[in-house]
Amino acid sequence: MRYALVVLVVATVWLGGCDSDGDGDPNKTDCMPDDPAAHAAGTEVCDDGKDNDCDGNTDCCDDECSGKDKPAACRERCGDGADNDCDGETDENCTFVHVDAGGGGACALAANELPHCWGDAKELEGFLVDATVGGGTSCGLKKDGSFFCTGGGMAGNSPKGVAYSAVYAGTSYACGIRKDDGRVNCFAGGRMVFGQASFGETKVKGVTTKTAPKDLKGYTELDTSNSHICGLRKNGMVTCWGNNDQGQCDAPRDSFLRVAAGEGFSCGLGRDGALTCWGAGAPATLPEGDFERIAAGEGFVCGLKAEGVAICTGSEAVAAAPEGPFKSISAGDGHVCGLTTEDALSCWGACDEGACDPNWK
């Protein structure tokens, strides 16, 4: 009897009937006989590095992971020299034309007009001409001048029949500048206690705010923080509205070329290339130099020189800016992302949860 049992076991093993990992697939046909997550009847998981269905293809190279609904894990990871999406090309679509940081992430537009978002930025889809990120909110501008937003209660499209030249996302709100007259239209995903997206005085007690002007025509540029907005008019005057608990909305009556809204402060770039900031939240020391662009976040401000050098103050992490050279910079809550003169992305600062890593998602 014992001899017969041994013969039966040996025969079973020889015939491939042994199932070492207990996944129902005999070792003879199981490509990973010690891993129950991989077997001939399995379903391919597109980002775990395993051939889950034992068809000889792994992750994005598997037919189950290809097509229009290919998951984010199958997108090309720029700079690693690998064909991540299995299309026969390496590091394709890795030149960029735009980047915008906000909250703990950022979104960029590739040369093919497709968006690429990372960190805690909400994903965007489709062909776009502009992309913007706020705290928990992302928005994309289409070629026809309409825009859509996602996250922070902002899931939806802009009103039909209105074309915008630019869109700016904040925390659960967004503002667009109309093409026809430069009028600012703002929309909220919830109740804006600081009045950023509702042009009436807030009724929340104990909140110091500044009401938006009734005439919001003639704007060329905006910048949004979590709780206030600053806009630049054609004549160089800056108007800010929303949370004003630290004087961040009390803009001087000077003429500026650029504007930036940080947390608890705002800044303008003067016609002489120098920075002027207002609000108690501004860093004690401002960048010095002749700048062409500016960006501001939580307690820090950056200036970008004509030769592409970024100089930042107020945060040790942000102050350690890479050499670049950059053609543009944008600030999130605690980090900065720049677009280099070679159309590549570079981010630095507080880099928790992938805020500085374009390949994080």
Give the whole-angstrom CA distance, residue 337 versus residue 347: 4
What does each of the 361 residues of the chain score in pLDDT, given as a tens digit?
Answer: 444 444 444 444 434 468 887 777 787 777 877 788 878 888 877 766 677 888 877 777 777 776 545 555 566 666 566 777 777 777 776 789 999 999 999 999 998 898 999 999 999 989 999 999 998 899 999 999 999 999 988 888 999 999 999 999 998 899 999 999 999 999 887 656 677 775 545 555 677 888 888 889 999 999 999 999 999 999 999 999 999 999 999 999 999 999 999 999 999 999 999 999 999 999 999 999 999 999 999 999 999 999 999 999 999 999 999 998 999 999 999 999 999 999 999 999 999 889 998 876 5
Give the whole-angstrom CA distance, residue 265 versus residue 100: 19
Domain span at residue 125 reads 96-354
Residue 331: which CATH number?
Answer: 2.130.10.30
Instruction: Kindly state whether residues 32 and 127 are assigned to the same domain.
Output: no
Question: How many domains does the structure of the chain reveal?
Answer: 2
Instruction: Kindly state whether residues 263 and 308 are assigned to the same domain.
Output: yes
Q: Are the C-beta atoms of 60 and 85 separated by less than 8 Å?
A: yes
> Residue 8: its pLDDT value, please?
41
Instruction: Kindly state whether residues 217 and 312 are assigned to the same domain.
Output: yes
Give me the torsion for CA of 82, 88, 89, 93, rounded to 10°: -110
Instruction: Kindly state whether residues 276 and 127 are assigned to the same domain.
Output: yes
> Residue 212: its pLDDT value, please?
86
Instruction: Kindly state whether residues 143 and 271 are assigned to the same domain.
Output: yes
* 17 Cβ neighbours under 8 A, 6+ residues apart: 26, 28
Instruction: Kindly state whether residues 285 and 140 are assigned to the same domain.
Output: yes
* 11 Cβ neighbours under 8 A, 6+ residues apart: none
Instruction: Kindly state whether residues 251 and 296 are assigned to the same domain.
Output: yes
> Residue 309: its pLDDT value, please?
97
Q: Which two tokens stand for residue 355?
A: 């805020």
Give the whole-angstrom CA distance, residue 207 versus residue 17: 73
Q: Are the C-beta atoms of 11 and 3 separated by less than 8 Å?
A: no
In a domain, residue 81? The reply is no
